[in-house]
A and B are shown apart, each in its own frame.
Chain A
Amino acid sequence: MTRSVHPALIGLAVLVFIFLVGPLVIVVGAALSDTSFLTFPPQGLSLRWFENIFEIAAFRRTIVTSLQIAFLSTGIALVIGIPAAYAMNRYRIALPGWLSTLFVLPVLVPELVLGFSLLKSVAVQFTVPIYISLVIGHTLLVLPYVVRVISASLANFDFSVEEAAISLGSPPLKTFFTILLPNVRSGVIAAFILAFITSINDVSISIFMTGPGISTLPIQLLAHTEQFFDPTVASVSVLLMVLTVAVMAIVERTLGLTFLAK
């Protein structure tokens, strides 16, 4: 009874969800169109624009690059981020408060500024190869997600369990892997997924890190969209959406989706 909502509000919410989902439906429709220009509803169904993706070398290359960068940067961020999150929860009192601020800095600093600064200082001044600069940039981009999500799951962890294991004779490092990690497993999975998706979709950092033969998928998409207005971009978009759906299905099965809303 107290749950009742004014019908006008419900109507508005329906419109909002049409607004949210509609454009994505349109992209899917456009990708399936048989015409060589973008249109909706599709005129004749065909998968030829999906085939076209793999005929364009730039797409083939950037898909591979994007996946590599996403895996590498997420992996590095997990390797350095999990110990950092652990330290900040376990030794909270011993560490200064600005440390946690330091780890959210990558969110605070606009990505464009970070990308540009990395290009200027790392890639150009210290002639670090573009590919490595990209990995560095994406690692910084996803690190805050890793630290925040792992910290959140550690916040509920009772560290005395760890001490119990050590008192029973388990060496500290082994304890970390056998006791701690299994307990924050869902946090690690969530961090991985958030980080991976963030990396694979990034534009603002990657836009500065294109070099001979190196670019990421979103940058290639951007360039292709500006030059050709054909359904290839729509079909790549659909591929990315399928990837997202697959990831969400994994999240749903392992953690439940409301997890992401936290």
Chain B
Amino acid sequence: MTQRLTIENITAHYGTTKVLEDLSLDIAEGELVSLLGASGCGKTTTLRLVAGFLAPTSGAITLGGKDLTRLPAHKRDIGLVFQNYALFPHLSVADNVGFGLKQRGIARDTRAKRVGAMLERVGLSHLADRLPGALSGGQKQRVALARALVIEPPLLMFDEPLSNLDAKLRIDMRVEIRQLQRANGTTSVYVTHDQEEAFSISDRVAIMHQGRIMQLDTPEVLYQRPANAFVARFVGFENLIPMTVVARDGETATVEAEGGVRLSLSSGHFGAIPDRFILASRADGLAVSDETNDGIPATLGLRTYLGRAYQYQCETPAGHLLANGPLGRPLDPGATAKLVPVPEQCTILAPEA
């Protein structure tokens, strides 16, 4: 049992502060979508709205065609996994897992069977009678997961479920979560501030900022082709160079950056070049060369060894940039060189407002 989640034009306030603005999100059946962003970006608010702990100012939330917007939390039938697990400290592991079934009026022996099977799946059968206080962080997380899964909800939501675990366990658990989610095919919303975690686990990721979704895409697209400057910075594009076209000649455009730096770019390599744009790339999008004349003139600073290349801190008329140079020709600090954009590693973005 799995259903489509639709969030339509949701606006939400805490008191008089607007925390979500006209947010829409459509999650397909069986899909896992992460909400990714810094604290205060609205990701947890979105989750709380869907869970029913917060009422939106306007907009609608539907799950499998059923309108949830005004439904109280306990009638929504959503499996929730909390950051701090939120296990009931007075109930045994088995009773924690069975809590939701009990609320649904399921008979004791059926309940015991389903709880037993669920504990088996998460590998905690031997701890069924323990109290949560006696468990390790990873075990608590598994109980929380089992408790949310056993009610077979049409929607699962995770609120930073791994942030209280150590690094090694975090990686193991995220694989486990993904496997369980895949096996059940349950539509899922996963809130996290950890980019690696979001990219590794999700079908799609929504990068959020100031109550809005900045881009919703597959991890591959987000990583390679961010849609705007915010997302570009977020996924680690260090070089964002604002540029203006000053002349066009067929496929070639002459562009000017700050400090009077001029470059020729070919739309054959870079795609359509608008009149004003941002040339965005990671360090590998700018190649250090002391053998060419067409490039951004730079004075090289600190050189660091990356294994596959050298990376240079560069001072240019267009500002501080990061660029990679070939291993065969290490250049020393103070040397001058040209930085040449590498088309495959660069993206052209709309200028910032």
Question: A residues engaging B (CB < 8 A)?
Answer: 1-2
Cα A1 to Cα B53 in complex, Å, equals: 6
| Residue B52 CB within 8 A of the other chain | yes
6 smallest A-B Cβ distances: which pairs?
A2-B53, A2-B73, A1-B55, A1-B53, A1-B52, A1-B73
| Chain A residues positioned under 8 Å from B55 (CB to CB) | 1
Chain A minimum-CB-distance residue to B72: A1
Cα A2 to Cα B80 in complex, Å, equals: 15
| Chain B residues positioned under 8 Å from A2 (CB to CB) | 53, 73
| Chain A residues positioned under 8 Å from B53 (CB to CB) | 1-2
A4 to chain B, nearest CB (A): 9
B103 to chain A, nearest CB (A): 15
Cα A94 to Cα B73 in complex, Å, equals: 52
Binding site secondary structure of chain B: loop
Given contacts A1-B53, A2-B73, 6 further A-B contacts (CB under 8 A): A1-B52, A1-B54, A1-B55, A1-B72, A1-B73, A2-B53
| Chain A residues positioned under 8 Å from B73 (CB to CB) | 1-2
Cα A1 to Cα B56 in complex, Å, equals: 11
Q: Would you give 8 A-B contacts (Cβ < 8 Å), ordered by A?
A: A1-B52, A1-B53, A1-B54, A1-B55, A1-B72, A1-B73, A2-B53, A2-B73
| Chain A residues positioned under 8 Å from B52 (CB to CB) | 1
Cα A221 to Cα B73 in complex, Å, equals: 56
Cα A2 to Cα B54 in complex, Å, equals: 9
Cα A2 to Cα B55 in complex, Å, equals: 11
Cα A2 to Cα B74 in complex, Å, equals: 9
Cα A1 to Cα B54 in complex, Å, equals: 6
| Chain B residues positioned under 8 Å from A1 (CB to CB) | 52-55, 72-73
| Chain A residues positioned under 8 Å from B54 (CB to CB) | 1
Cα A2 to Cα B86 in complex, Å, equals: 15
Cα A2 to Cα B52 in complex, Å, equals: 8
Chain A minimum-CB-distance residue to B71: A1
Q: Indicate with 1 or 0, residue by residue over B51-80, a CB within 8 angstroms of chain A CB atoms.
A: 011110000000000000000110000000
Q: Indicate with 1 or 0, residue by residue over B247-273, a CB within 8 angstroms of chain A CB atoms.
A: 000000000000000000000000000
Cα A232 to Cα B66 in complex, Å, equals: 70
B56 to chain A, nearest CB (A): 11
A53 to chain B, nearest CB (A): 48
Chain B minimum-CB-distance residue to A3: B53
A3 to chain B, nearest CB (A): 9
Cα A1 to Cα B73 in complex, Å, equals: 8
Cα A1 to Cα B72 in complex, Å, equals: 7
Chain B minimum-CB-distance residue to A4: B72
List B residues 22-65 near A (Cβ within 8 Å).
Answer: 52-55
Cα A1 to Cα B51 in complex, Å, equals: 11
Chain A minimum-CB-distance residue to B54: A1
Cα A245 to Cα B168 in complex, Å, equals: 56
Cα A1 to Cα B49 in complex, Å, equals: 11
B263 to chain A, nearest CB (A): 56
| Chain A residues positioned under 8 Å from B72 (CB to CB) | 1
B50 to chain A, nearest CB (A): 13
Cα A32 to Cα B134 in complex, Å, equals: 61
B221 to chain A, nearest CB (A): 36
Cα A105 to Cα B136 in complex, Å, equals: 38
List B residues 261-313 near A (Cβ within 8 Å).
Answer: none
Chain A minimum-CB-distance residue to B48: A1
Chain A minimum-CB-distance residue to B52: A1
Cα A2 to Cα B53 in complex, Å, equals: 6
Cα A14 to Cα B243 in complex, Å, equals: 66
Cα A259 to Cα B58 in complex, Å, equals: 39
Cα A155 to Cα B173 in complex, Å, equals: 35
List B residues 120-168 near A (Cβ within 8 Å).
Answer: none
Cα A130 to Cα B43 in complex, Å, equals: 68
A207 to chain B, nearest CB (A): 44
A127 to chain B, nearest CB (A): 56
Cα A149 to Cα B322 in complex, Å, equals: 56
B52 to chain A, nearest CB (A): 6
Cα A112 to Cα B75 in complex, Å, equals: 56
A247 to chain B, nearest CB (A): 33
B217 to chain A, nearest CB (A): 32
Cα A185 to Cα B55 in complex, Å, equals: 43
Cα A2 to Cα B75 in complex, Å, equals: 12
Cα A1 to Cα B52 in complex, Å, equals: 7
Cα A214 to Cα B321 in complex, Å, equals: 85
Cα A2 to Cα B48 in complex, Å, equals: 11
Cα A29 to Cα B55 in complex, Å, equals: 46
B75 to chain A, nearest CB (A): 11
B41 to chain A, nearest CB (A): 22
Cα A55 to Cα B39 in complex, Å, equals: 66
A34 to chain B, nearest CB (A): 49
B70 to chain A, nearest CB (A): 10
B193 to chain A, nearest CB (A): 24
A5 to chain B, nearest CB (A): 14
